[in-house]
């Protein structure tokens, strides 16, 4: 897992965040609007065989990764590495909106 703040990141003419994802390409993704207190992927274990990039667009919450809870807020960017167990949990008072992308290997 790597955490960044959106204002600290750069882009190139052909890649968003080349300093974070290098030459990786987006293979899937979307935007998710959480309900207050909602946990994404409530199953016991949730992992991917590729990296996943999250942009937190609105709200606050927690991103547990391999059992360690990382506080999240608007403007945070997380790169969850392949094989890391993760489950985003929104706050009750300030629900999250998150953009997410799966990257190629």
Each of the 105 residues of the chain gets a pLDDT tens digit; together they read: 899 888 888 888 888 788 888 889 999 999 999 999 999 988 889 999 999 999 999 999 999 999 999 999 999 999 999 999 999 999 999 999 999 999 997
pLDDT of residue 7: 87
pLDDT of residue 22: 86
Q: Domain residues for 56?
A: 2-103
pLDDT of residue 41: 86
CATH number of the domain within which 68 lies:
2.60.120.10
Q: How many CB atoms lie within 10 A of CB 55?
A: 21
Contact (Cβ atoms closer than 8 angstroms) between residue 55 and residue 7: no
Number of compact structural domains in the chain: 1
Residue at token pair 């629900």: 95
pLDDT of residue 23: 86
């Amino acid at each position: 897992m790597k955490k960044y703040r959106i204002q600290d990141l750069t882009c190139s003419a052909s890649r968003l965040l080349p300093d974070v994802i290098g030459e990786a390409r987006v293979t899937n993704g979307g935007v998710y609007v959480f309900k207050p207190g909602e946990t994404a992927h409530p199953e016991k274990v949730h992992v991917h065989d590729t990296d996943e990039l999250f942009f937190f667009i609105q709200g606050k919450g927690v991103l547990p990764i391999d059992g360690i809870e990382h506080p999240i807020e608007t403007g945070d960017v997380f790169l969850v590495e392949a094989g890391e167990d993760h489950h985003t949990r929104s706050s009750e008072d300030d629900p999250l909106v998150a953009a997410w992308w799966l990257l190629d290997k």
